[in-house]
Chain A
Amino acid sequence: MKPSLKIICIACAIFLIACAQKEKLEEVNYRLKWLYNVSAVGDLYAETRGYFTRNGLKVNVKPGGPERDALKELELGHAHFGVASADQVLRAAAKGAPIVVLAQLFQVNPLHWIYRPDQTVFSGGEELKGKRIGVTFGGNDEAILRALLARYGIAESQVTLFSVRYDYTPFYEGRVDFWPLYLNAQAVIIAEKLEKAGETYAFLSPDRLGVRFVANSVVTTREMVEKRPETVKRFLTALLEGWRDALDPRNQDQAIQVLLDADRETPEAVVRKQLPVTRELMLPAARIEFGKIDAVAWKQTEAILRSQNLIPGSVDVESLLFTFK
């Protein structure tokens, strides 16, 4: 056989094997909570670096957004897996949505409040009294803030709540003492601006003040778990493995590149700062396993929502949290 013919035969064989493998892949949709950003780096890493394929899955990782609700898409059958915040999950569960939590992405909620320590004296929750605090009414920062106020016995009349939007001007101008932001996203950008202006800044962490409000988690439907357990298992295995590797400092450059390919709006310098912060929030201690579901924090989140009448009744948290036996 001529060498050129040999090469063509090998190429054809590889092509046929690839086609056969592709046919075998099970296709599922995975709806993220927000647009592609650092909070989805592991999802994108798992998708682009073949973690799902190796587990026999073709996963379409779709960006979320303000008008997207992964939980509704799950129920309507448009998505098989999704990312949702704990308050969304509990609200849905309280209204009978058949969902289960597979993994918890953040061990510490990235929602923090930024403040200027040289202008705002703050060393403990009690000192929130008398302060002007930014809050997104209706958002989960409102629930967290109200939980903080309740925890430290501060009445709403003892603080000034300032309605927050995308515009940070009120904080820059010093009209508000505390401004809510995501520690692994906007905080990096705002901090840089304040540093350039020669100002000091610090962050109020609700978690450190005793309010453990769960953030993003990976969810699916009960039907998926019951009827396609193998698919769920393979998806979760691939996803967690992808996340672990994306957060591994040794793979930092590859993880950043994967994210930059998907999110062309955020400069590389910003992503480089965001990734280590994200790692800290997802793996706050070396011994913590990525994706661990913190049942105590879930119960506290449920209690917060219930105490603020944000859910109509109590939710059986244990039945929501799924673990493979």
Chain B
Amino acid sequence: MLHRRIYQFLIIYAIGLGLLLALKYGLNLSDYVIPSPDEIVRTCRTYGGPYLLAVLNTLAVAVLGHILSICLATVVAVIGRLTAWIGSFIRTAAYNIQAYPIVAVAPIIFILLGDGLQSRLLIAAMICYFPLLLSFIGVFSEPIREIEHFYESTGRMTWRLQVKIRAFENIQKLTTVIVGSATMAMVGTIVAEFIAATAGIGYSIRIALYQSDLAKILVALFLIGVGTSLYLVSLEWAGNALQKRLKSL
């Protein structure tokens, strides 16, 4: 699984880089517009180490933000499945909040929380929680009639049991959505760092953009790709392990 993910990423990255270099030599562009292979290698040697640490920093925040968004989506979906007014209100509020572009909301977050970890975490969570929320609301609002009917007719149905039944019956769907939203968590964290932070690879990309240094950005993109692939593989592995365990019960 790990090999496949990394392999696929490397192919995509190589194609992208190849196209850029073809453009550079085809149009006879200077190293300022598109860096030469030499410059990319040199930049990788100089900045590879610090950028790797920055990617790990970003990845750590993305993982925390992802966990936060999963918790948030679960809570909102569990409450949102209610037919009562509060359920409907939460659903509407969740959709409305998501309707605002994060770049417009981010400055308010940074003014309130500063440009530290909290802001990065919150923005990462906000960006990746909506796809989770949509699926979670779908899963938790849809009754599993053949099972729930038994507990309802015997008067043993509680809200916890209802949530457990629905989660168990849709575990594959939930796992897929969680894995899918992992990339959003990474993107969210990078966006947060890009807008206002003093750490992480998004911050490094911002500085590189100030300096019009595409070589640095290419190195950063490579490391982001590898980091994200590793995280996705870990999630897929954890999801498979969980499904196997539940099936064995």
Contacts and interface: CB of A to CB of B under 8 A. Distances in A.
Interface of A: 66, 69, 71-72, 75-76, 88, 91-92, 95-98, 136-139, 163, 165-167, 169, 310
Contacts of A163: 115, 198
18 contacts: A66-B209, A72-B32, A72-B212, A76-B29, A76-B33, A88-B212, A91-B32, A91-B212, A92-B32, A92-B212, A95-B31, A97-B33, A137-B198, A138-B206, A138-B210, A163-B198, A165-B115, A166-B196
Interface in B41-80: none
Contacts of B111: 167, 169
A72 B23 CA distance: 13
Q: Chain A at the B interface: mostly helix, strand, loop or mixed?
A: loop
A95 B35 CA distance: 9
B30 A95 contact: yes
Contacts of A76: 27, 29, 33
A89 to B, nearest CB: 10
Contact of A137 (B27, B110, B207): B207
Contacts of A310: 211
Interface residues of B, number: 21
Contacts of A169: 111
Nearest to B27: A76
Contacts, number: 56
B11 to A, nearest CB: 27
Contacts of B33: 72, 75-76, 97
A75 B32 contact: yes
B208 interface: yes
Contacts of B209: 66, 138
Contact of A167 (B32, B107, B207): B107
B26 to A, nearest CB: 12
Given A76-B33, A165-B110, 17 more contacts: A69-B212, A72-B33, A75-B32, A76-B27, A92-B30, A92-B212, A95-B32, A95-B39, A96-B30, A97-B33, A98-B30, A138-B207, A138-B211, A165-B115, A166-B107, A169-B111, A310-B211
Contacts of B110: 165, 167
Contacts of A95: 30-32, 35, 39
A71 B34 CA distance: 12
A237 to B, nearest CB: 28
A119 B31 CA distance: 47
A176 to B, nearest CB: 13
A320 B153 CA distance: 86
A23 B198 CA distance: 53
B30 A138 contact: no
A274 to B, nearest CB: 23
Nearest to B210: A138
Contacts of B196: 165-167
Contacts of A98: 30
A66 B30 CA distance: 21
A138 B198 contact: no
B98 to A, nearest CB: 24
Contacts of B107: 166-167
Contacts of B206: 138
Contacts of A97: 30, 32-33
Nearest to B206: A138
A72 to B, nearest CB: 5
A75 B30 contact: yes
A163 B209 CA distance: 16
Nearest to A76: B33
Contacts of B115: 163, 165
B3 to A, nearest CB: 36
A76 B32 CA distance: 11
